[in-house]
Amino acid sequence: FGGAMENAGAITYDEYLLLMDEDSPLNQRRTYTAVHAHEMAHMWFGDLVTPKWWNDIWLNESFASWMMYKVADRYWPEGEFNRGLLSGALGAMANDSLAAAREIREPIDSNEKITSAFDGITYQKGAGVLAMLERYVGEDMFQAGMRVHMQRHADGTATAEDFIASIAEGSDRTEVEGAFKTFIEQPGVPLLSVRLDCEEPGKPRINVQQTRYAPLGSAIKPNDGKWQIPMCVGYDADGTRKTSCTLLSETEQSFDLEPGTCPTTVHPNADGAGYYRFSLDDAGWSSLIAAAPELNPAEALVLADSLDAAFRAGKVSATSYLSGMATLAGHKAWDVADAVAAHLESIIDIIDVSELPVAEAALRKIAAPRFAKLRGSDDAGSQLLRQRLQRFLIVVAKDQAMREPLAKQAAKVIGLDGEPDLSAAAASEFETIFSVGVQDIGERFFDLLLAQAVSSDDPAFRNAAIGALARAEDPLVVKKLQEAVLAGDFKGTEGFGVVARQMARVATTELTYAWLRDNDDALIAMIPETFRSNVLPGLGGAFCSDNGADDWQQFIIAHADDLPGYERDLAQTVESIQLCAALKKAHGADLVAAFANYQ
């Protein structure tokens, strides 16, 4: 369950991160680069200066996550790492949007709570907050504060208060202390409702109201949190792109923009540097979405996240949501189109299986033009997006025209009717084409791929093959997969990974859950005790009904003795199921109609 460990002078790695060469898949090489940079960063935060107690483990992991993208980008500029930190922070917001979310600086008063502190809040949210405050005080001044901290506490321990004081002293920006504390000592994502005010000619203003973001069905109250937020607004006025920044400290606050004509567009998170979401009025959404193709990639990424969040909170219509996502899908940056695909794949969870063909047809119309533009491009971003959009079109959007030739490719690679030919497809595409083989060719292909996967010493091939095997949908083939898991044919945590994927897919959730109930003790034993209470409760996240939430809660509670410290992870999973059910009830039919009407 961990890629590496930062032992001083003896960093250890999973074999997938080391067993490769120059011909290994781009994803594998990028993962190694990022993880290695992360572990090396721990030589400073973690090894040279160690947190005084587990509640400040975020000092280790947030710093290493923040640092790894800087180092990886310097080491391999073509590797497309420069927005990895932002993407990670946006990903953490899903968990941080829950009423059961925890703060970055989690109080640790029992051994069971230690492992729960190693999650996206500690790593990605923490890194995003560091990046936001670095932007606020300036990169040079932030580094000066870091050096103060390293020198002051070398070969010793330090607390969050020590770290914050060092940054404030080194940067000579004492106000940063209050901002830091509001982000690390309370949970939640700030939501900034922004309105452009041009009532007085020549004096445009921005009116902002801050609340805590809450999706439909949430128990979160708008006044559940208050932050000190470094906010930068980007806007277009008089034919020029401009930026205005301020430190928000009040629930409602206004600030003046540069005198001149009324801006044509306003982006409430310039350069995507702030850890917050935003909401706009109808005119604000329309103008910003229209300008989306010209936004810089970071701003386009946070626009996609805030638009998705707004739909989940019932603040934009399904039609506007889908139109905005379709516009963003055409953005030239690979990770923007990738983020859109991820949002769309997630949102169809609220659609009944019988309605999926309508959604799949629209998804093909949205993604296919962007995929077609990738022909002939071979830079890292194009390779990454080609691989991910290919999977999206084939696995999610069910593009039959694309599936047929890939099934033939998959058969050649594993030698279904002859000798195996690994050169018949790019290694980066193995998981996608193997998935098609498992689903479309069926049992004969599945049997051979399973045999090759469990006997292979190539970690990249094993990962691809096992990922594809876990997409089996035919009940007879699924039964064989389950038998292989129970027989111990997979090593390490691979077997549990298969179960997790089968649970996560709508086509096999109920079938897998029934099998899980029948073999609960054996499957629980597959999970290392250290991680059991954290990862098992999350398996129920694929359900999307109140009944599903209740049933899953009862199942986990029935195994409480094997899962010490499970309570928060179960609460978060149950809440996620309930939020999915609430959104489905409120806007599932609207989303189906929007997909049906998409042109």
DSSP H or E stretch at residue 266: strand 265-267
For residue 361 the two structure tokens come to 């047809």
Contact 55, 106 (CB under 8 A): yes
Q: What is the pLDDT of residues 257-303, one digit of tens each?
A: 999 999 999 999 999 999 999 999 999 999 999 999 999 999 999 99
**What is the predicted pLDDT for the residue at 115?**
79
Tokens for 51, please give them. Answer: 């947190």
Residue 348, Cβ neighbours under 10 Å: how many?
Answer: 20
Contact partners, residue 439, CB within 8 Å, separation at least 6: 471, 472, 473, 474
**Cα(272)–Cα(231) distance, integer angstroms:** 10
- What is the residue whose two structure tokens read 């479309």? 440
- Output the pLDDT for position 274: 97
Question: To which residue do tokens 């870091």 refer?
Answer: 146
Cα four-point dihedral sign 349, 351, 352, 357: negative
Q: What are the two backbone dihedrals, phi and then psi, of residue 259, each rounded to the nearest 5 degrees? A: -55, 140
Task: Answer for the pair 235, 138: CB distance below 8 angstroms, yes or no.
Answer: no
Residue with tokens 């899980």: 516
pTM score of the predicted model: 0.93
Residue-level pLDDT at 493: 83
pLDDT the model gives residue 2:
61
- The model's pLDDT over 429-455, given as tens digits with 9 standing for 90+, comes to 999 999 999 999 999 999 999 999 999
Rounded CA Rg of the chain: 24
The C-alpha atoms of residue 154 and residue 510 are separated, in whole angstroms, by: 53
Confidence of residue 1 (pLDDT cuts 50, 70, 90): very low
Question: For a pLDDT cut of 70, what percent of the chain falls above it?
Answer: 100
Q: Is residue 89 exposed (0-12), middle (13-18) or buried (19+ Cβ within 10 Å)?
A: buried
pLDDT digits (tens, 9 = 90+) for 367-379: 999 999 999 888 9
* Nearest by Cα to 420 from 406, 429, 410: 410
| Pair 512, 543: CB distance under 8 Å | no
| The token pair that represents 256 in the structure block | 């003046």
**Rounded Cα distance, 377 and 121, in Å:** 36
In angstroms, rounded to a whole number, what is the distance separating the alpha carbons of residues 377 and 380? 9
Is residue 481's pLDDT more than 50? yes
At 304-357, the pLDDT tens digits run 999 999 999 999 999 999 999 999 999 999 999 999 999 999 999 999 989 999
Could you tell me what percent of the chain has a pLDDT over 90? 87
> What are 101-137's pLDDT values in tens digits?
999 998 888 887 787 788 899 999 999 999 999 999 9
Helices (DSSP H) in 215-333: which residue ranges? Answer: 282-290, 297-312, 318-329
Q: Give the Cα separation of 189 and 101 in Å (integer).
A: 10
Return phi, psi of residue 56, to 5°.
Answer: -110, 25
Residue 24 has pLDDT above 90, yes or no: no
Residue 571: count of CB within 10 angstroms of its CB = 16
How far apart CA 142 and CA 131 sit, in angstroms, is 10
* In the predicted structure, residue 15 carries a pLDDT above the cut 80: yes
**Please, which contacts does 500-504 make with residues 24 or more away whose CB atoms are closer than 8 Å?**
500/535, 500/539, 501/467, 501/470, 501/471, 502/470, 502/472, 502/478, 503/539, 503/540, 503/542, 504/541, 504/542
pLDDT in tens, 58-92: 999 999 999 999 999 999 999 999 999 999 999 99
Residue 492 falls in which region: left (phi positive, over 0), alpha (psi -120 to 50) or beta: left
Q: What is the pLDDT of residue 228?
A: 96
pLDDT of residue 424: 95
Q: Which phi and psi angles does 25 have, rounded to 5°?
A: -55, 145
